[in-house]
Chains A and B, each alone.
Chain A
Amino acid sequence: MARTTPHARPRSARARGITTFRRERWLYIAFLMPLVALLVLLTLYPIGQSIYTSFTNLNLARPNAPQLFVGLANYRTMFESDIFWVTLRNTLVMVFGAVTVQLVLGFVLALLLDRELPGIGVVRTLLLLPLMVTPVIGALVWSLMLNPSTGVVNYLLTLVGWSNPPVWLGSGNLAMMSIILVDAWQWTPFVMLLLLAGLQGIPVEFYEAAELDGASFLQRVRHIILPMLRPLIGVVLLLRVMDAFKIFDKIYILTAGGPGSATETVAFHAYRQGFGFFRMGYASAISMVLLVVVLIVSIVLIQRTQSEGAHA
C-alpha cells in the first residue's frame, strides 16, 4: 500500500505546508460527514445486518415462517457440505489462473509496445477497448463465439487443421479455462497499461549502461526491468486479485456455474442459495466467509506490497 496510498508518503503534513486552523477544521469535518454517513449506510450497516442474518434461518420461500436464531447451524452446514469446499477451490483456481495469465501476458505486451514506432499510439488505444466493453456483453459475445456448433472460434480452429475442436464450455477444466481466458481478454490491457507506464519511467541511462556491458535482452529484463518494476507489479497484482474475486457476470453468462459445479465460485454459490433457493440465512453465512477470505488475502498482499515498496 505504501506506494499507492497518499497517507503513507514519507512527507509529513507539515512539510507539505499544511497547518490546520480551527476554522478549517470544521470545514474538513463537515466535508467528511456525507462520505462517512454513506459508507456507514452502504457498507458497515449491511455487513452488520448480514452477520446477524447468517445466524438465523431466514428463508424467503417460507414468508410466514418466523425468522429464528439458529446459532452456528448455517456455518456448520456449510463447512460440512462438499459443495462449499468445491466452490472455494474453484474460486482460488479462478483467481490464481486469471491473475497469472493477465500478469504474464500483460508484461509481455508492455515489453512489446514499449518502443517508439509510427502508429504505436493507435495500437495502444485500440488495445484499451476490451477494458471498456461491458463485462456482460463481452461474455455474451464470447459465449456465441465459443458455441461448439455455430461459433466462429471452432470454425477458425478447423480451418487451421484442428479437425475436432473442443466443446469449450461443456467440460469442467475447459469451462474454467474459458472463463479465465475471457477475463484475461478483458483485463490484460489494464495490466499492460500500468506496466507500460512503469517501463517508460525507467531512466534511459540504465539501458545505456546495460548496452555498454553487452547485456542481452533477457538479461536486461531480468536484471534491470523486473527489479525496477517490482513494487509496481506488487500493486498491479493486488488490484487484479481483488477484482478477480469479484468475477460474477462472466460465470453467470458463460456457464452459470456449470457444467455440474465446475465453475461455481463461492460468490456464485451464495448467490444461488440466496436468490435461487431463497435461503438468505445460509447465503449470508457463505458470503461472510467469502468476505473473510477476501480480506485476509488482501491484507496479506497489501502488507507484502508495503514491505517491498520500502525495500525498493
Chain B
Amino acid sequence: MRSRRKRVQRVLIWAAIAIVLVLFTFPIYWLFGMSLKQNVQITAWPPQFVFKPTLENFDYVLFSSGTPYLRYLRNSLIVALATTAVTIGAGALGAYSLSRFRFRGRTLFMFWVLTARILPPVAIGIPLYLIIRNLGWLDTYVAVVMAHSAFILPMGVWIMTSFFDTIPADIEQAAKVDGASPFQAFVYIVLPVASPGIGAAAILAFIFSWNEFFYSLVLTGSTTRTMTVALAGFQGALQLEWGYMSAAAAITVLPLFAFVFLTQRLLVSGLTGGALK
C-alpha cells in the first residue's frame, strides 16, 4: 500500500518536472527549430513541429559573400573580450585590495561598488553618450567597452572580493616570511588559488557584455554594431529574413550554452557568489 502510494507520488513528481522543463525550454527549441526551417515553413500555418531541417540559413549567415553577420559577431566578440580584460585587469587587483586592506571609508566604497552595479542604464547611458559624442568617439569600440565596463566591472569586483575573502591571509604571510615581496606573494601564491573565482568573474563578464543591448544600441554605429543591436533591428522586419535572423541568433546563443555545459560549476559559483557567501 505504502509503496504504491510512493510510486504514484513519484510519477506525479516526474510529470510536474516534465511540464516545467517543456515550458522553460520550449522557446529555445523553437528558436533552433526556426533556424533550421525555410521561410515558408517558419510562417506556415499551422506551425510545424516536425519538418525536414535545412542548413540554408546557417550557410547564408556564415558563408555567403554579402553576409553582414560575421561582422556583427566579430564586433560582439571584440567588445566582450575587451570588457572582460578591463574587468579582470582592474577588478582582480581592486578586489584583492578590498579583501585585504582595511581603510577608513571601505564600507562606503563597497557600497559605491554595489550601487554602480544597480545604476539604471539610462542614467549612465545618456551622459556617457553626450561625453563620447563630444569626444568624437561614437561608433568606436572604446566607447562601447567603457559603457559595458561601467556595470560589469563593479559586478566582477563584487564576485572576486567574495572569492578572495575565502582565501586565508596566512598563505601570503607564510610566503612573506620566506622572503617574498607582497607583490610576489600576490602573483605566485594568491592568484593561482583564486583562479576559479577569477575565471567565474571572467565568464560572467564575457556573457553580460555579449548579451548587452542598451549601451550598444546608443553607442555603436555601422562599423561597430554588435549582434544584439543588429538582431533587434529585425523587429518588424520582412518575414523573408526570419530564417537568417534565427540562424544568427542561434549562433549567438550557442557559445553561452557551451559555457553552461562545460563550466557549470564555475558559472553557478559566480552567479551565486555575491549572494550566498
How far does the alpha carbon of A283 sit from the alpha carbon of B256 in the complex, in Å? Answer: 34
Q: Are B86 and A135 in contact (CB under 8 A)?
A: no
Q: Are A24 and B182 in contact (CB under 8 A)?
A: yes
From B62-70, B125-133, B192-200, the one touching the partner chain is B125-133
Q: Are B45 and A28 in contact (CB under 8 A)?
A: no
B227: nearest residue on chain A (CB-CB)? A134
Does B240 make an interface contact (CB < 8 A)? no
Do A27 and B186 contact each other (CB < 8 Å), given the known contacts A16-B169, A235-B275, A252-B232?
A: yes
* Contact residues, B81-126 vs A (CB, 8 A): 86, 89-91, 93-94, 96-102, 106-107, 110, 112-126
Q: Are A17 and B126 in contact (CB under 8 A)?
A: no
How far does the alpha carbon of A245 sit from the alpha carbon of B106 in the complex, in Å? Answer: 27
Q: Are A39 and B116 in contact (CB under 8 A)?
A: yes
Does B191 make an interface contact (CB < 8 A)? no
**Chain A nearest Cβ from B133, distance in angstroms:** 8
Does B54 make an interface contact (CB < 8 A)? no
Do A152 and B47 contact each other (CB < 8 Å), given the known contacts A133-B28, A239-B275?
A: yes
Q: Are A7 and B110 in contact (CB under 8 A)?
A: yes
B214: nearest residue on chain A (CB-CB)? A248
Q: Are A25 and B101 in contact (CB under 8 A)?
A: yes
Interface size class of A (residues with CB under 8 A): 35 or more
Does A253 make an interface contact (CB < 8 A)? yes
B153: nearest residue on chain A (CB-CB)? A38
Question: Which residues in A have their C-beta under 8 angstroms from that of B168?
Answer: 16-17
Q: Which of A127, A270, A288 contacts B24 (CB 8 A)?
A: A127
Q: Which of A16, A35, A113, A239 contacts B93 (CB 8 A)?
A: A35
Question: Which residues in B have their C-beta under 8 angstroms from that of A143?
Answer: 235
Q: Are A17 and B173 in contact (CB under 8 A)?
A: yes
How far does the alpha carbon of A58 sit from the alpha carbon of B131 in the complex, in Å? Answer: 13
Q: Are B218 and A275 in contact (CB under 8 A)?
A: yes
Does A128 make an interface contact (CB < 8 A)? yes
* Contact residues, B148-188 vs A (CB, 8 A): 149-150, 153-154, 157, 161-162, 165, 168-170, 173, 181-183, 186
Does A174 make an interface contact (CB < 8 A)? no
Does B261 make an interface contact (CB < 8 A)? yes
Count A-B contacts at CB 8 Å: 291
A1: nearest residue on chain B (CB-CB)? B114
Q: Which of A4, A126, A144 contacts B242 (CB 8 A)?
A: A144
B124: nearest residue on chain A (CB-CB)? A46
B76: nearest residue on chain A (CB-CB)? A134
Question: Which residues in A have their C-beta under 8 angstroms from that of B6?
Answer: none
Question: Which residues in B have their C-beta under 8 angstroms from that of A6?
Answer: 98-99, 110, 161-162, 165, 277
Q: Are A43 and B27 in contact (CB under 8 A)?
A: no
SS of B interface (majority): helix
* Contact residues, A265-282 vs B (CB, 8 A): 267, 270-271, 274-275, 280
**Chain A nearest Cβ from B155, distance in angstroms:** 11
Question: Which residues in B have their C-beta under 8 angstroms from that of A163?
Answer: none
How far does the alpha carbon of A246 sit from the alpha carbon of B107 in the complex, in Å? Answer: 25
How far does the alpha carbon of A263 sit from the alpha carbon of B228 in the complex, in Å? Answer: 21
Does B268 make an interface contact (CB < 8 A)? yes
Question: Which residues in B have their C-beta under 8 angstroms from that of A210?
Answer: none
Interface size class of B (residues with CB under 8 A): 35 or more
Does A50 make an interface contact (CB < 8 A)? yes
**Chain B nearest Cβ from A266, distance in angstroms:** 8
Question: Which residues in A have their C-beta under 8 angstroms from that of B34?
Answer: 141, 144
How far does the alpha carbon of A185 sit from the alpha carbon of B227 in the complex, in Å? Answer: 22
Q: Which of B101, B120, B249 contacts A140 (CB 8 A)?
A: B249
Does B259 make an interface contact (CB < 8 A)? yes
Question: Which residues in B have their C-beta under 8 angstroms from that of A271?
Answer: 122, 125, 214
Question: Which residues in B have their C-beta under 8 angstroms from that of A245?
Answer: 118, 120
A interface residues (Cβ-Cβ under 8 A, vs B): 1, 3-9, 13, 16-20, 23-25, 27-29, 31-32, 34-36, 38-39, 41-43, 45-47, 49-50, 53, 58, 109, 112-113, 115, 117, 123, 125-138, 140-145, 150-152, 155, 185, 188-190, 193-194, 197-198, 232, 235-236, 239, 242, 245-246, 248-249, 252-253, 256, 267, 270-271, 274-275, 280, 283-284, 286-288, 290-291, 294-295, 298
B interface residues (Cβ-Cβ under 8 A, vs A): 13-14, 16-17, 20-21, 23-25, 27-28, 30-31, 34, 43, 45-47, 86, 89-91, 93-94, 96-102, 106-107, 110, 112-131, 146-147, 149-150, 153-154, 157, 161-162, 165, 168-170, 173, 181-183, 186, 207, 210-211, 213-214, 217-218, 227-228, 231-232, 234-235, 242, 245-246, 249, 252-253, 256-257, 259-261, 264, 267-268, 271-272, 274-277
19 contacts across the A-B interface (CB closer than 8 A):
A4-B277, A5-B110, A5-B114, A6-B162, A16-B169, A23-B181, A24-B182, A32-B97, A38-B86, A47-B124, A109-B20, A127-B25, A129-B25, A134-B231, A134-B253, A190-B271, A193-B268, A252-B232, A280-B130
